[in-house]
Structure 1
Amino acid sequence: MTIVSAEELEALRAVGRVVGLTLQGMKDALRPGMTTAELDAIGAELLASQGAHSAPRQVYDFPGDTCISINDETVHGVPDGRVIQPGDLVTLDVTAELGGYIADAAITVPLPPVSKVARRLCRCAASALARALQVARAGRPINHIGRAVEAEVRRWGFAVIPPLSGHGLGRTIHEEPTIPNFYHRRLTQPLEAGLVIAIEPIITAGRGKVVTDTDGWTIRTADGALSAHFEHTVVITEGPPIVLTKPEA
């Protein structure tokens, strides 16, 4: 969506704050020995306590209130009885609806002890998101975001996952435009002030190909390589974007 009023911006700030606080609460609660279903229940309680709902459950009938992906799982991990282990990379992805508006964010949390590669992968994904935020300004081509992400990921020696992209959102989860995590030379349309998008580098220590599990939801790397995912929902402006999904937003 493209924001056209101060009221819309405030509504998006509100749902973005819910997402940021829910992610922070889940991260604080995350411990080895708990199941992904138990962690998801904490996320559900945090959403409900703020008057919000799980957008994936509402829109797609996703079998969880949050997505929790571990190690080689890239996105859409289904919460279940799987026990979280020391050394896991745990990706928490929260998409919330509040008052008809939607925001989306993700973080990958390394649970010690983790390998040097795993720790670097998380740092790389976070750095790629930061680089993308630096170039996401009104008037610049959409493909500048993907170029920034891809260049940073390659600099660290890792790979993006081409089928998995950022996207517009605001009134529903997935809206136009698509925001690839690589340079697409034909995506030259300029970013518009007020546009709401999710920027989400999803990267891997492997080759970048993915497969979908038999559950029909979980996407994982085809080669079993580790994956990391960092995401914010932002509003494009003439200057730096407004990041909606920080806890203090």
Structure 2
Amino acid sequence: MIIKKSPAEIDQMAAAGEILVRTMDLLAGKIRPGVTTAELDAAAEKYIRSQGATPAFKGYRGFPGSTCLSPNDMVVHGIPGKFKLSRGDILSVDIGVIKDGWVADAARTFPVGEVSAVAAKLLDVTEGSLFAAVEQCRPGNRLGDVSHAVQEFVEAQGLSIVRSLVGHGIGRDMHEEPQIPNYGPAGKGPVLEEGMVLAVEPMVNAGRHMVRMGDDGWSIFSQDGSLAAHFEFTIAVTADGPRILTPWHHPEAAASAPAAA
């Protein structure tokens, strides 16, 4: 069952999203060669808790970190630890925040200094596909319109959608119905209605789409070792159009009014 939220509840999710965005900004300022993912994770947890919120990922199904930090060919679910960033790396930063019982979830992939042309294209295309998906998060559209927008944008650039991982509904629980694939035909699936809140998260490989599980039971890598990127927003479907509740891209009105992506 898809749980719809009231405008007041969406505002509460946006409050969690504001803390998430400030946390993302904090880490953006710390991502540089020589920094470890454990150091980034500690900074994120300290800040989130200082805001009267809690890290949504900490302890979730046994996950040990407060953030998921996934470098290079790791698609998602990277456990923070001793990995030290080097110039030319890319790092996917996935953050979840719980505030007053409501969850916000978002991700960005950052370049570490100057990166290769392949990496730069991967980041641009994956981010662009997320904004293409945002535009489809409108009442009367179907969930398949969101999925298809991502696939069409990515595959037109010769990159590959990770097909075995999906986005999700979100609210008081981090993972609610519906599941949101990043591929598929337009015009299919549930009709989007006012009050639905979706965590839309394109995951894209520079090579082929297949992935493999890491030895730690959490991290997921591109099977062919190609670079991977992950971008995500929490988006509310409103009568006035899509409202981005985790606006790490920083348009001033995004957290308080419908967003034009």
Q: Answer yes or no: is 1:154 the counterpart of 2:125.
A: no
Match of 1:199 in 2: 200
What is the 5 A alignment of 1:99-248? 99-184=100-185, 187-246=188-247
Between the aligned partners of 2:240 and 2:132, the Cα distance in structure 1 is 14
The answer (yes or no) to whether the contact 2:147–2:186 under 8 Å persists in 1 is no
Mean Cα deviation higher: 180-189 or 157-166: 180-189
The answer (yes or no) to whether the contact 1:26–1:43 under 8 Å persists in 2 is yes
The answer (yes or no) to whether the contact 2:32–2:113 under 8 Å persists in 1 is no
Shift of 1:237: 1.7
Shift of 1:183: 1.1
Shift of 1:187: 4.1
Q: Deviations over 1:96-122 (max 9, x none)?
A: 111110010000001122110100000
Match of 2:259 in 1: none
Shift of 1:52: 1.1
Q: Answer yes or no: is 1:82 the counterpart of 2:86.
A: no
Find the residue that maps to 1:135 and give its secondary structure: coil
Aligned length: 248
Find the residue that maps to 1:39 and give its secondary structure: helix
Q: Deviations over 1:197-226 (max 9, x none)?
A: 101111011111111111111011111010
The answer (yes or no) to whether the contact 1:133–1:240 under 8 Å persists in 2 is no
Match of 1:65 in 2: 66
Shift of 1:181: 0.2
What is the identity, as a one-letter code, of the residue corresponding to 1:3?
Answer: K
What is the identity, as a one-letter code, of the residue corresponding to 2:74?
Answer: E
Find the residue that maps to 1:57 and give its secondary structure: coil
Runs of at least 4 residues off by over 6 Å: none
Shift of 1:25: 0.9
Q: Percent identity?
A: 39
Between the aligned partners of 1:184 and 1:100, the Cα distance in structure 2 is 35
Between the aligned partners of 1:24 and 1:37, the Cα distance in structure 2 is 17
Between the aligned partners of 1:239 and 1:73, the Cα distance in structure 2 is 37
Between the aligned partners of 2:162 and 2:41, the Cα distance in structure 1 is 25
What is the identity, as a one-letter code, of the residue corresponding to 1:17?
Answer: E
Between the aligned partners of 2:62 and 2:54, the Cα distance in structure 1 is 12
Shift of 1:191: 0.9
Shift of 1:58: 4.2
Between the aligned partners of 2:122 and 2:238, the Cα distance in structure 1 is 30
Between the aligned partners of 2:144 and 2:96, the Cα distance in structure 1 is 24
Between the aligned partners of 1:185 and 1:153, the Cα distance in structure 2 is 15
The answer (yes or no) to whether the contact 1:200–1:232 under 8 Å persists in 2 is yes
Q: What 5-or-longer segments of structure 1 have no aligned partner? A: none
Q: What 5-or-longer segments of structure 2 have no aligned partner? A: 256-261
